[in-house]
Chain A
Amino acid sequence: MSIARMTVVHAKYSLIETLRIPIAVVGSVVFPTLALLFFVVPQEAVSGNPEFATQAVVSMSVFSVMVGSLFSFGLGIAENREKAWDPYLRTLPAPGIARVLAHILSTGLLALVGLIPLLLVGAFLTAAEASPARIVLGVLAIAVSSLPFMLIGIAIGYSFPMKGAIAVVQVLFLGLAFGGGLFLPPEVFPGWLNAISEFLPSRQARDFVIGVVQGGTIEPLTVIGLVVWTVLLLALSLLLFRRDEGRRFR
Chain B
Amino acid sequence: MTTLARLDGVTRRFGEVVAVDHLDLEIESGTILGLLGPNGAGKTTVISLLQGLRRPTSGTVELFGGNPADAVNRQRLGSTPQETALPDALRVGEVIDFVGSHFAARVPTAELAADFGLEELLRKQTGALSGGQKRRLSVALAFVGNPQLVLLDEPTTGLDVDARRTLWDALRRQHDRGATVVVTSHYLEEIEALAERVVVMGNGRVIADDTLQGVLGRVGQRIVRLTSPELDRVAGLEGVIRHEADGTFTVTDSDAFLVALVRSGLPFSDLTVRGATLEEAFLSLTHQEA
Does the CB pair A93–B103 fall under 8 Å?
yes
Q: How far is the CA of A87 from the CA of B153 in the complex (A)?
A: 14
Which segment of A16-24, A171-179, A183-191 sits at the interface? A16-24
Q: Is A236 positioned at the interface, with any CB of B under 8 Å from its CB?
A: no
Say yes or no: A92-B14 contact (C-beta < 8 A), given A13-B94, A87-B53. Answer: no
Does the CB pair B102–A84 fall under 8 Å?
no
Residue of B nearest to A250 (CB): B14
Does the CB pair B87–A17 fall under 8 Å?
yes
0 or 1 for each of A92-107: is its CB under 8 Å from B? (1 = yes):
1111100000000000
Q: How far is the CA of A6 from the CA of B84 in the complex (A)?
A: 24
Residue of B nearest to A96 (CB): B71
Does the CB pair A13–B98 fall under 8 Å?
yes
Return A216 CB to nearest CB of chain B, in Å: 44
Return B141 CB to nearest CB of chain A, in Å: 8
List, in ascending order, chain A residues with CB within 8 A of B102's CB.
Answer: 1, 6, 9, 92-94
Q: Which of A1, A9, A91, A94 makes the CB contact (< 8 A) with B53? A: A91
Q: Which of A17, A84, A93, A249 makes the CB contact (< 8 A) with B72? A: A93
Q: How far is the CA of A9 from the CA of B72 in the complex (A)?
A: 17
Does the CB pair B75–A93 fall under 8 Å?
yes
Return A90 CB to nearest CB of chain B, in Å: 6
Q: Is B54 positioned at the interface, with any CB of A under 8 Å from its CB?
A: yes
0 or 1 for each of A1-38: is its CB under 8 Å from B? (1 = yes):
10000100100010011001100000000000000000
Main SS of the interface on chain B?
Answer: loop
Return A86 CB to nearest CB of chain B, in Å: 8
Say yes or no: A250-B71 contact (C-beta < 8 A), given A16-B90, A84-B82. Answer: no
Q: Is A242 positioned at the interface, with any CB of B under 8 Å from its CB?
A: no
Q: Which of B89, B101, B125 makes the CB contact (< 8 A) with A9? A: B101
Which parts of B1-40 form the interface with A (CB within 8 Å)?
14-15, 17
List, in ascending order, chain A residues with CB within 8 A of B72's CB.
Answer: 93
Return B92 CB to nearest CB of chain A, in Å: 13
List, in ascending order, chain B residues with CB within 8 A of A192's CB.
Answer: none
Q: Is A163 positioned at the interface, with any CB of B under 8 Å from its CB?
A: no
Q: Is A124 positioned at the interface, with any CB of B under 8 Å from its CB?
A: no
Interface size for chain B: under 10, 10 to 19, 20 to 34, or 35 or more residues? Answer: 20 to 34
Q: How far is the CA of A1 from the CA of B145 in the complex (A)?
A: 13
Does the CB pair A85–B81 fall under 8 Å?
yes
List, in ascending order, chain B residues with CB within 8 A of A83's CB.
Answer: 84-85, 87
Residue of B nearest to A20 (CB): B89
0 or 1 for each of B49-60: is its CB under 8 Å from A? (1 = yes):
001111000000
Residue of A nearest to B138 (CB): A88
Which parts of B66-101 form the interface with A (CB within 8 Å)?
71-75, 77, 79-82, 84-87, 89-90, 94, 98-99, 101
Q: Is B245 positioned at the interface, with any CB of A under 8 Å from its CB?
A: no
List, in ascending order, chain A residues with CB within 8 A of B89's CB.
Answer: 16-17, 20-21
Q: Is B114 positioned at the interface, with any CB of A under 8 Å from its CB?
A: no
Q: How far is the CA of A21 from the CA of B80 in the complex (A)?
A: 25
Q: Is B104 positioned at the interface, with any CB of A under 8 Å from its CB?
A: yes
Residue of A nearest to B78 (CB): A91
List, in ascending order, chain A residues with CB within 8 A of B74's CB.
Answer: 91-93
Interface centre among B53, B99, B102, by most chain A C-beta atoms within 10 angstroms, is B102
Return A99 CB to nearest CB of chain B, in Å: 11
List, in ascending order, chain A residues with CB within 8 A of B75's CB.
Answer: 93
Q: How far is the CA of A144 from the CA of B72 in the complex (A)?
A: 33
Return B52 CB to nearest CB of chain A, in Å: 7
Residue of B nearest to A85 (CB): B85
Return B180 CB to nearest CB of chain A, in Å: 16
Q: A6-B102, A83-B87, A88-B80 are in contact. List 7 more A-B contacts (CB 8 A).
A: A1-B71, A13-B98, A16-B90, A17-B89, A93-B75, A93-B145, A95-B71
Give 16 pairs: A residue, B residue, CB < 8 Å, sorted on A: A1-B71, A1-B103, A16-B89, A16-B94, A17-B90, A83-B87, A84-B81, A85-B81, A88-B79, A88-B82, A91-B52, A91-B74, A92-B71, A94-B71, A95-B71, A249-B14
